[in-house]
Structure 1
Amino acid sequence: MIFAGQGRARFLGAVDGFETAVRAQDPDGAERAFQEMHQSLGEAGAQEIAEAAPRLAALLADVPPGPRGIVAVVVGACVERGADPGPCAPYVFVELAEALAEVGEFCERWQETGGGDFPDPEDGEAHAALFDRVGPEAALAWLSLPQWEMACVAMLNHPGVRTALDGSLRARLVRAVGVVEEASGHQFKCLKYGLLVLDDEPLVVLHRPTGTGYRMRMSGIGDNFQLHTLLADALVGGGHVPGRAPSAQEVAVCRDAPGQVHTTGSFNLMTPGGEWVWNEGTPADIPVVDGVRLLVLDPPAYERSWPSGRFFPGMTGDLVLERVLDAAETRYWLGGCVPAT
Structure 2
Amino acid sequence: MNLGNGGFANAVMAFERAVRAVDEDAVRSAHRELLDAFRTVSQAEARAAGPQLAGLLDGVPHDLRAHIAVMVGACVERGADAVTCAPPVLANLAEALDEAREFAEYWAAAEGGELPDPASIEPTDFYDGAGVAATLSWWTLDHWIRASLTLMQREAVRRGLTRSTRELLTRRHEAYAKLCGDWRKDLAYALLVLDDEPVVVLHRETGSGYLVRMTGIGDNFQLHTLLADVLIGGGYLPGDAPSAAAAAVCRTVEGRVITRGSLNLVAPDGTWLWNEGTPSDIPVVEGTRMLVLDPPPYLRDWQAGRYFPAMAGELVLERVLPKAEAARWFAHVEPSKDPIETADA
TM-score norm. by structure 1 comes to 0.94
Q: Does 1:16 align with 2:13?
A: yes
Q: Which runs of 5+ in 2 are unaligned?
A: 338-345
* Residue pair 1:269, 1:298 contacting (<8 A) in 2 also: yes
| 1:202 equivalent in structure 2 | 198
Q: Secondary structure of the equivalent of 2:298?
A: coil
Bigger shift: 209-218 or 95-104? 95-104
Q: By how many angstroms is 1:104 displaced?
A: 2.4
Which of the residues 74, 78, 83 maps onto 2:80? Answer: 83
Number of equivalent positions = 336
Q: By how many angstroms is 1:214 displaced?
A: 0.7
Closer/same/farther in 2, CA of residues 7 and 245 from structure 1, 3 Å limit: farther
Amino acid in the other structure paired with 2:326: T
Q: Structure 2: how far apart are the matches of 1:251 and 1:325?
A: 24
* Residue pair 1:8, 1:44 contacting (<8 A) in 2 also: no
Q: Which runs of 5+ in 1 are unaligned?
A: none
The correspondence of residues 6-45 of structure 1 with structure 2, limited to 5 A, is 7-45=4-42
Q: Structure 1: how far apart are the matches of 2:112 and 2:253?
A: 45
Bigger shift: 19-28 or 314-323? 19-28
Q: Does 1:191 align with 2:187?
A: yes
Amino acid in the other structure paired with 2:177: E
Amino acid in the other structure paired with 1:212: S
* Residue pair 1:8, 1:48 contacting (<8 A) in 2 also: no
Q: Secondary structure of the equivalent of 1:83?
A: coil
| 1:101 equivalent in structure 2 | 98
Amino acid in the other structure paired with 1:335: A
* Residue pair 2:152, 2:158 contacting (<8 A) in 1 also: yes
| 1:255 equivalent in structure 2 | 251
Amino acid in the other structure paired with 2:307: F
* Residue pair 2:251, 2:313 contacting (<8 A) in 1 also: yes
Amino acid in the other structure paired with 1:27: E
The correspondence of residues 38-187 of structure 1 with structure 2, limited to 5 A, is 38-121=35-118, 123-125=119-121, 127-131=123-127, 133-187=129-183
Q: Secondary structure of the equivalent of 1:307?
A: strand
Q: Secondary structure of the equivalent of 2:170?
A: helix
Q: Secondary structure of the equivalent of 1:99?
A: helix
Closer/same/farther in 2, CA of residues 126 and 243 from structure 1, 3 Å limit: farther
Closer/same/farther in 2, CA of residues 246 and 326 from structure 1, 3 Å limit: same
Superposed CA RMSD: 1.7
Q: By how many angstroms is 1:177 displaced?
A: 1.4
Q: Structure 1: how far apart are the matches of 2:14 and 2:279?
A: 45
Q: Does 1:310 align with 2:306?
A: yes
Amino acid in the other structure paired with 1:15: V
- Summarize deviations over 1:86-105 as a string: whole Å, max 9, x none: 11111111111111221222
| 1:337 equivalent in structure 2 | 333
Bigger shift: 20-29 or 46-55? 20-29
Q: Structure 2: how far apart are the matches of 1:49 and 1:259?
A: 26
Q: Structure 1: how far apart are the matches of 2:303 and 2:108?
A: 39
